[in-house]
């Protein structure tokens, strides 16, 4: 697959996913470059891949995890949650007339546990199905479904707490 085509299909989604995962647009750009390079190197494998999208996200996820491991930063610290909230805020657009909605959602997402946030971001913003998310993360469908449910409920309680 050509790089152009690859970008048109997955580039924007990957960039957004990596931006939230790495809590930095600059790092996301660097890692996206690595991901594209890797995918270009693996071009021979494309013929044998049935579901391209989970595969592409899986490669991106592995690359991001390697990067975080190098930086000794597997989890986002609570102190960095505000910075992450800012990054999420800048990476989203909304039709809501009230701008504080986006702010509240960003803050709530930043305070979610990483594994729940990842599932929610992949489901809502990158439009993957739960089955595809399971393939991306190398988890069972049940685990992903339960992370999704717990994530939504925690997100709801965080948003309500903010409103109070």
Q: Please choose, from the candidates 18, 2, 4, the residue with its C-alpha nearest in 3D space to the C-alpha of residue 125.
A: 18
In the bound complex, what is the minimum distance in angstroms from residue 66's beta carbon to another protein?
17
Interatomic CA distance for residues 84 and 103, integer angstroms = 12
- Is 86 near another protein (CB under 8 A)? no
CB 83 within 8 A of CB 109: no
Closer of 77 and 127 to another protein (Cβ) = 127
Which tokens hold the place of 22?
């790495």
In the bound complex, what is the minimum distance in angstroms from residue 37's beta carbon to another protein?
5
In the bound complex, what is the minimum distance in angstroms from residue 160's beta carbon to another protein?
10
Which tokens hold the place of 26?
């600059």
- Is 161 near another protein (CB under 8 A)? no
Q: Please choose, from the candidates 119, 133, 149, 100, the residue with its C-alpha nearest in 3D space to the C-alpha of residue 20.
A: 119
Q: Which of 82, 94, 100, 140 binds another protein (CB under 8 A)?
A: 94
Q: Please choose, from the candidates 30, 26, 17, the residue with its C-alpha nearest in 3D space to the C-alpha of residue 109.
A: 17
Binding site for another protein (CB under 8 A): 3-4, 7, 11-13, 15-16, 29, 32-33, 36-37, 40-41, 90-96, 101-102, 105, 120, 124-126, 149, 152-153, 155-156, 159
């Amino acid at each position: 697959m050509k790089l152009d085509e690859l970008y048109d299909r997955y580039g924007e989604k990957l960039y957004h996913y990596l931006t939230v995962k790495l809590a930095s647009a600059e790092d996301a750009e660097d890692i996206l470059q690595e991901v594209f390079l890797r995918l270009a190197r693996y071009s021979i494998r494309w013929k044998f891949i049935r579901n391209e999208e989970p595969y592409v996200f899986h490669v991106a996820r592995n690359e991001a995890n390697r990067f975080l491991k190098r930086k000794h930063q597997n989890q986002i610290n609570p102190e960095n949650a505000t910075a992450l909230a800012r990054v999420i805020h800048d990476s989203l657009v909304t039709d809501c007339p009230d701008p504080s909605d986006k702010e509240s959602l960003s803050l709530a997402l930043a305070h979610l546990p990483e594994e729940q946030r990842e599932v929610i971001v992949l489901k809502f913003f990158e439009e993957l199905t739960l089955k595809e998310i399971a393939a991306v993360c190398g988890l069972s469908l049940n685990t992903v479904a339960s992370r999704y449910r717990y994530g939504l409920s925690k997100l709801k309680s965080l948003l309500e707490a903010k409103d109070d």
